[in-house]
Each structure stands twice: as structure tokens, then as C-alpha cells.
């Protein structure tokens, strides 16, 4: 039997780690007979000792009844019990062992990579409880689960939404966990991701959205809500049920934007639209979705060109096959393209549903020289992107990091010259750091960061420390060639640290020196890469993306911004130098999180002093003050009218004397949830208002 087990699932350290022992034959027979059938039925999701944890269903999970051999045997209690042929018992035990082995690996992965504190013999109950506690819910020993006091009253009857009788506000929805609202990287919104990858958690809204919330959050709603919102696979929305629009709940007055400036709207394609082999995934399904977008007059789509896919195996060997087919398809549908030069890893942040690492040959270099990656104070390396310390170091097989980026961009420009010449590619966004944003990877989920932690400084690889040492010596204080030793950890809060607290070291002589150096390295990196990008894409629109680090914005130190490289405390404008650098290079500014409401952040986490609206307005006005074209995108999934109206407020500011507005807006991102009927109706309405068209159901 041991041989059979090895043949099916092999050996694994995880199995030994988990201690997933298998029941003996008598125990399994008893369980089978008590349950009246096979223990591995896929409907039995909850096990006691891990035997049925993940409810894995296999093709031979059940036997036809006529194949079972029943024999009535008297029992001491006067009842009867069934006996099965030996072959069926053996097959059942093999399947049981395989399920346990798979579960062992899943739980080991959660413990090792997801920072879940699970007991050795954990089962699915422990996993669900861990996820619920991380989301801020209370889980009692008997399994009773309800929101904590900070989330509102305990739901009656198991409902996830309670509407007060004295207000139109939603009093309690599934409140986001402290691990939500991560760094804005193109994967967040008022519908935010929890740490259990792929689960949406809606935040409270200042409007009564009860009648539409089921369709907008059907991914976590009941099965009936999902069935009522079947994905739209083609055609126009012109024949949509008018009753759905008429049934929308009353909202606060909306601005009439008919005749306002035309702001192009793009939709970002799924992260995995091109697979790791540089092949287009599901071209037929994508073509249908592109035609639907075209039918509502979307201007174009945005797609990531992943460094880890195109130059995966050897330096300067580029594979563009999948992108060629994709671009041709977009051209046939008569949409335009925005392209992102993605020099970072995909798969380590909230919302990432695919894994695309850095090129293999870069990973090989990193194994022998891990200092090519950003490093924290504890010496942990982050392979999400290359350290800016090697921008001018020839450690990548004879090339510097900046040369590698330039060669990649030049290859793209030559390969797709015809698309540039005919104007199909309207904009190129250049990735400058983690998630493609110009910032340090100060909040890595893989190292245990959870919202609203302040993050950590990322300057401890040998190349960054060398730069710091030179700066300290030039200042005449060699002792300052170190990082702060009292800045806390990833999940600290400002007042818990000596560096970021009110009156802390961040505003002392050493603190000002260190933060000036730290932020200047960020500006210098952006300047080096963008100057070469303008050379590679001469005559084309190039843009750079900043990050929306909005938590702790209302504190004196702005700790989370400082660790990300934005030297923006309350007594200093930390974005002016960055925007001046963009202006010098003739590069547009891209800012995310324009759909977030500060009120929502206070309801969910009042202690974080978050202010996304204040941050957006600071960066937006600073960009416009130096005459930068500004593009934007939502930071989180955006599905309701409240969020769309917030985007419109930023895209077309009311009573702006200069008539300024966004040069374009990119919706993040194309998904089955967006294509549900009611959600798509709201999206089409939003597109019309961005284009300056009149809408019939304007609430005035």
C-alpha cells in the first residue's frame, strides 16, 4: 500500500511537516458505514481531522449503486451494517490518502507563504476561521461567526448587510480586513481584496446601494444573485431592460456633464491575457469582449508587456508572438492601445491572479547575488523588481539595469513600428518599480505586510548601502551611513515608533538627511529610465505611474509615504521634485485611487487617518501646476455609481477656471463581474459621461 501511495502522490516534506497520517482500515470502514457511503464525497466540505478538508472531487468519486456488494450482517445492537468488496475499500483509501496529501501541501503553502498560523493537523474549519479572523470577524470555538464591534452589530439571521431605519446609509456590510487596501497598484477599489486572494469585500458606501449591491458584489453573494447576473458575451447594451435603470435607488445630485470635454476611456485587459509562453489565451472569448467594449464606445484597451515573458530565457532574446496576435485583434476591432512596459513581477500583490516572475536568467543571477533585489533591515530580499542600486552597475551579464530596460523598450518599438506609425498605440506607460509604480516595495505582502502597516525602508542591499555611505561622507557625517533603527516593522503604526511618532526622529537632523537621500534615489531612478524611454519612443506619449499611499496621510510624518520614498510629511511637499522630473522628461503623470472616498476609509479603519481624496488632490494639482498631462485609473474594482461619480469629480473638476481635465482614464479591469448586465449598464453610463454625452437618468 505504501508503494501505491508513492505512485499516486509521491513523497513530500510538506506531508511530513503536516503530520497528515492516514486512518487505519477499521476506522475508515466505520466512517464509511456510519455515513452510509464514501467518505470522500465532494459535498462533505468540513472534516474533523483533515480527511476531507478541501472537498476535492475526482472523476471516480462515487460508484454506481448496482456495483456495490451489500451484505446484511447482524450487530450487537440489533442493527445491520454493510460490507464492501476489498477492492473498493482499497480504492477509497487511496483517494483518501491523495486528498490528504493535497491538503497537506495547501496548508503548508498557506503557512509558509501566506503567514497563516495554522495548527499542525489543521482542517478546512481552521482555514476558514483564519480567513475570517484576518478579515476582522470574531470566530467563537463553536464556529459562531460575527463582525467585531468595530464593524457594527452582529448580523441577524446570518445576513451580511444591515440597513438602518433612520438613515439611508448602509450600516454594515462585509467590512474589509486590516489586510485590505494595499498599495494602489491597479488592483483595488471600494470593492477591495481580502488576503484570501480573489475574495472581494465591499466597503460601506455613503449612499444607499442596497438594491444594486447584490449584483455588484455577486462574487461573494448568494448563488441566486449570481444566476440573475449572467455574463454578457456580446452585442450592445441598447436593448437592456429599462426597468433595471428605473429601479436604481435615489442618490445625491449628479452633475450634468453633457457638453463637457471628451475624456477617452480605456479598459485594462486581464493580467493573464498572455500566458508565460507568450501565447494569447482564449482569443475567441477575448474577441467577443472587445466587441462589447467597442459597442459602448470605449476608446481602447491597456495591456501589460511582461519582461518576464518576453525576455524570459536569455538576455536580448525577445519573444513577441502573443502580443502580435493580440495587437492585430485590437486593430481589427478598431480600438486603440495603451501598453505598459512591466519590468516587475506579477503574483505577489493583492489582486494578482497569475504568476509572472522576472526572467529566468535574472533569477539565476539573483541566486548568486541576491543584492540585485531590494532588501529590508532583516536582510530579506524581494525579487519583485530590481534594486535601483544596480541602475549603473554591470551585474546583469555585462549590462546595467538601465541598459536592460532600454534594450527591451527599443525591441518593442522596432517590433511594433507599424502600430506606432498608424497611431494604434496611443500611450506607453513605463514601469519604474513594484506594480509598475515609481516607489519602493515598502509594503510586500510576501513579507507579512498588512494594511494599514507603515511598511519598512528598502535600502539594505550592498549597492544602496554604498550609495548611502557616499552621501553620508559627502555630508561630513560618516556615522549617518545607516538606516533608522527605530522605524518599527512592516505592520507598525506611526505612534509605536520613535522615528515616525509626532516629534520623532524623522524631523531631526539625521532623519531629514536620510529621507532626502532615500527620496532622491527614487527621483534619480525615474529620471534615468524615463530619459531613455523618451529616446526609445520618440514622438509617442509616455507616462509614469505614482502610487496612492493614502493611509496615515493625516498624521504629521506620513509614515507610509516615507517608507515608499515619497518625502511628504506635513511640512514638506514630497511630490514636487518627482513631478518636476516628469516635466523635464516630457512625461505624463498617472495617478490611481481617484474613486476612493475618505469617508469610507474612516468608517472601516478610523485609526489610520487615511485621506485618499486629500492625497489625490495634492498630487493632481501639483501636476497641473507644472502643466503636466494627467491620466488616471481606479485603484480598486469600481462597479457602482458612487465610485464613478467620484472619478468624474476628479476627471472634470467643477468650476475649474482653467478648464483642466484628465487626458485619459483607464478602467481596471476587464472581468466577468464587470460584464454582468447591471454592472455593465453602469459602466456604459460612466463612459458616456466621460465623453461629455447626456444621460437620461441623471439625478438632479
Weakest-pLDDT range from 65-79, 219-233, 238-252: 219-233
Q: Is the pLDDT of residue 83 over 90?
A: no
Cell digits of residue 431 = 514601469
Summarize the confidence of residues 249-254 as an average pLDDT: 65
Residue 647: name the closest of 680, 611, 674, 687 by CA.
Answer: 687
- DSSP for 446-514 reads GGT--TT--------SHHHHHHHHHHHHHHT-GGG-S--SSS--TT--GGGSTTTSTT-GGGSHHHHHH
C-beta of residue 449 within 8 angstroms of C-beta of residue 491: yes
Cell digits of residue 555 = 498624521
- pLDDT number for residue 117: 64
DSSP-derived letter for residue 144 is -
Better-predicted residue by pLDDT, 625 or 87: 625
Q: Is the pLDDT of residue 50 over 70?
A: no
- pLDDT number for residue 339: 98
- pLDDT number for residue 47: 37
Of the spans 39-53, 209-223, 315-329, which averages the highest pLDDT? 315-329
C-beta of residue 135 within 8 angstroms of C-beta of residue 198: no
Report the phi/psi class of residue 82: left, alpha or beta, with left for phi > 0 and alpha for psi in -120 to 50: beta
Weakest-pLDDT range from 20-29, 82-91, 595-604: 20-29
CA-CA distance, 547 to 438, in Å (whole number)?
Answer: 7
Weakest-pLDDT range from 27-41, 208-222, 307-321, 515-529: 208-222
**In whole numbers, what is the pLDDT of the chain averaged over residues?**
78
CA angle 125, 126, 127 (to 5 degrees): 90
pLDDT in tens, 322-371: 999 999 999 999 999 999 999 999 987 766 778 999 999 999 999 999 99
- pLDDT number for residue 492: 96
> In the structure, what pLDDT confidence band is assigned to residue 130 with cuts at 50, 70 and 90?
confident
> In the structure, what pLDDT confidence band is assigned to residue 82 with cuts at 50, 70 and 90?
low
CA angle 441, 560, 504 (to 5 degrees): 125
- pLDDT number for residue 39: 41
Cell digits of residue 29 = 470502514
C-beta of residue 177 within 8 angstroms of C-beta of residue 132: no
Residue 211: name the closest of 161, 176, 159, 165 by CA.
Answer: 161
Provide CB contacts within 8 A for 293, sequence distance 6+.
Answer: 267, 301, 335, 670
CA-CA distance, 698 to 520, in Å (whole number)?
Answer: 47
> In the structure, what pLDDT confidence band is assigned to residue 121 with cuts at 50, 70 and 90?
low
Better-predicted residue by pLDDT, 56 or 263: 263
What is the share, in percent, of the chain residues with pLDDT greater than 90? 59
CA-CA distance, 65 to 211, in Å (whole number)?
Answer: 46
Better-predicted residue by pLDDT, 573 or 228: 573
Residue 424: name the closest of 531, 541, 322 by CA.
Answer: 541
CATH 3.20.20.80 for domain 265-691, yes or no, is yes
C-beta of residue 269 within 8 angstroms of C-beta of residue 303: yes
Provide CB contacts within 8 A for 309, sequence distance 6+.
Answer: 274, 275, 276, 278, 319, 322, 356
For residue 652, what are the CA distances in angstroms to 595, 646, 656?
13, 10, 8
CA-CA distance, 153 to 53, in Å (whole number)?
Answer: 31
C-beta of residue 329 within 8 angstroms of C-beta of residue 286: yes
pLDDT in tens, 395-430: 999 999 999 999 999 999 999 999 999 999 999 999
CA-CA distance, 671 to 231, in Å (whole number)?
Answer: 9
- pLDDT number for residue 108: 74
- pLDDT number for residue 131: 80
C-beta of residue 232 within 8 angstroms of C-beta of residue 680: yes
Please state at what angle helix 321-333 crosses helix 283-295, rounded to 10 degrees: 30
- pLDDT number for residue 90: 82
Q: Is the pLDDT of residue 189 over 90?
A: no
For residue 70, what are the CA distances in angstroms to 34, 35, 65, 84?
15, 15, 10, 7
Weakest-pLDDT range from 93-102, 241-250, 373-382, 634-643: 241-250
Q: What are phi and psi of 340, to 5 degrees?
A: -110, 125
Amino acid at each position: 500500500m505504501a508503494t501505491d501511495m508513492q505512485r499516486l502522490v509521491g513523497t513530500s516534506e510538506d506531508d511530513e511537516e503536516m503530520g497528515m497520517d492516514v486512518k487505519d482500515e477499521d476506522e475508515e470502514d466505520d466512517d464509511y458505514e456510519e455515513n452510509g457511503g464514501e467518505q470522500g464525497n465532494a459535498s462533505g466540505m468540513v472534516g474533523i481531522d483533515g480527511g476531507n478538508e478541501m472537498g476535492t472531487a475526482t472523476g471516480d468519486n462515487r460508484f454506481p449503486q448496482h456495483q456495490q456488494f451489500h451484505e446484511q450482517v447482524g450487530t450487537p445492537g440489533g442493527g445491520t451494517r454493510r460490507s464492501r468488496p476489498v477492492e473498493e475499500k482499497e480504492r477509497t483509501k487511496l483517494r483518501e490518502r491523495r486528498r490528504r496529501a493535497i491538503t497537506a501541501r495547501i496548508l503548508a503553502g498557506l503557512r509558509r507563504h501566506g503567514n497563516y498560523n495554522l495548527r499542525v493537523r489543521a482542517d478546512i474549519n481552521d482555514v476558514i476561521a483564519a480567513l475570517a479572523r484576518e478579515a476582522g470577524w470574531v470566530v467563537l470555538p463553536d464556529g459562531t461567526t460575527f463582525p467585531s464591534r468595530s464593524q457594527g452589530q452582529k448580523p441577524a439571521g446570518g445576513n451580511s448587510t444591515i440597513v438602518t431605519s433612520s438613515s439611508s446609509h448602509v450600516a454594515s456590510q462585509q467590512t474589509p480586513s486590516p489586510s485590505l487596501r494595499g498599495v494602489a497598484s491597479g488592483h483595488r477599489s471600494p470593492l477591495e481584496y481580502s488576503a484570501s486572494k480573489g475574495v472581494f469585500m465591499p466597503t460601506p458606501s455613503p449612499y444607499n446601494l442596497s438594491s444594486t449591491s447584490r449584483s455588484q458584489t455577486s462574487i461573494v453573494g448568494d448563488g441566486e444573485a449570481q444566476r440573475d447576473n449572467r455574463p454578457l458575451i456580446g452585442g450592445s447594451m441598447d436593448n437592456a431592460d429599462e426597468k433595471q435603470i428605473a429601479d436604481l435607488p435615489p442618490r445625491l445630485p449628479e452633475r450634468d456633464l453633457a457638453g463637457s470635454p471628451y475624456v477617452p476611456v480605456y479598459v485594462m485587459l486581464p493580467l493573464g491575457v498572455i500566458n508565460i509562453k507568450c501565447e494569447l489565451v482564449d482569443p475567441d472569448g477575448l474577441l467577443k469582449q472587445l466587441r462589447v467594449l467597442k459597442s459602448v464606445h470605449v476608446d481602447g484597451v491597456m495591456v501589460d508587456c511582461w519582461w518576464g515573458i518576453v525576455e524570459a530565457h536569455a538576455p536580448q532574446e525577445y519573444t513577441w508572438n502573443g502580443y502580435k496576435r493580440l495587437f492585430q485583434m485590437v486593430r481589427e476591432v478598431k480600438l486603440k492601445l495603451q501598453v505598459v512596459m512591466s519590468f516587475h513581477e506579477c503574483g505577489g500583490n493583492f489582486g494578482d491572479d497569475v504568476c509572472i516572475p522576472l526572467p529566468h536568467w535574472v533569477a539565476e543571477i539573483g541566486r548568486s547575488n541576491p543584492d540585485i533585489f531590494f532588501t529590508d533591515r532583516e536582510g530579506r530580499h524581494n525579487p519583485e523588481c530590481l534594486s535601483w542600486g544596480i541602475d549603473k552597475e554591470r551585474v546583469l551579464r555585462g549590462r546595467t539595469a538601465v541598459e536592460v530596460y532600454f534594450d527591451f523598450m527599443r525591441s518593442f518599438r522596432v517590433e511594433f513600428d507599424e502600430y506606432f506609425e498608424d497611431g494604434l498605440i496611443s500611450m506607453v506607460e513605463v514601469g519604474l518599480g513594484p506594480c509598475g509604480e515609481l516607489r519602493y516595495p515598502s509594503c510586500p505582502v510576501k513579507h507579512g505586510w498588512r494594511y494599514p502597516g507603515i511598511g519598512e525602508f528598502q535600502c539594505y542591499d550592498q549597492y544602496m548601502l554604498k550609495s548611502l555611505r557616499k552621501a553620508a561622507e559627502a555630508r561630513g557625517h560618516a556615522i549617518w551611513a545607516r538606516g533608522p533603527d527605530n522605524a518599527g516593522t512592516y505592520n507598525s503604526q506611526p505612534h509605536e515608533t520613535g522615528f515616525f511618532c509626532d516629534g520623532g526622529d524623522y524631523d531631526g537632523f539625521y532623519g531629514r538627511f536620510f529621507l532626502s537621500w532615500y527620496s532622491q534615489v527614487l527621483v534619480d531612478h525615474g529620471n534615468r529610465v524615463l530619459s531613455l524611454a523618451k529616446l526609445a519612443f520618440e514622438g509617442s506619449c509616455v507616462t509614469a505611474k505614482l502610487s496612492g499611499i493614502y493611509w496615515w496621510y493625516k498624521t504629521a510624518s506620513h509614515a507610509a509615504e516615507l517608507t515608499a520614498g515619497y518625502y511628504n510629511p506635513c511640512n514638506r511637499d514630497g511630490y514636487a521634485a518627482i513631478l518636476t522630473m516628469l516635466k523635464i522628461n516630457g512625461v505624463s503623470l498617472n495617478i490611481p485611487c481617484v474613486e476612493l472616498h475618505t469617508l469610507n476609509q474612516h468608517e472601516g479603519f478610523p485609526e489610520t487617518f487615511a485621506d485618499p481624496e486629500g492625497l489625490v488632490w495634492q498630487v493632481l494639482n501639483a501636476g497641473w501646476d507644472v502643466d503636466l498631462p494627467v491620466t488616471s485609473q481606479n485603484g480598486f474594482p469600481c462597479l457602482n455609481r458612487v465610485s464613478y461619480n467620484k472619478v468624474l469629480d476628479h476627471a472634470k473638476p467643477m468650476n475649474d477656471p482653467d478648464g483642466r481635465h484628465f487626458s485619459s482614464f483607464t478602467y481596471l479591469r476587464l472581468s466577468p463581474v464587470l460584464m454582468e448586465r447591471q454592472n455593465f449598464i453602469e459602466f456604459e453610463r460612466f463612459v458616456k459621461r466621460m465623453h461629455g454625452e447626456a444621460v437620461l437618468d441623471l439625478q438632479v
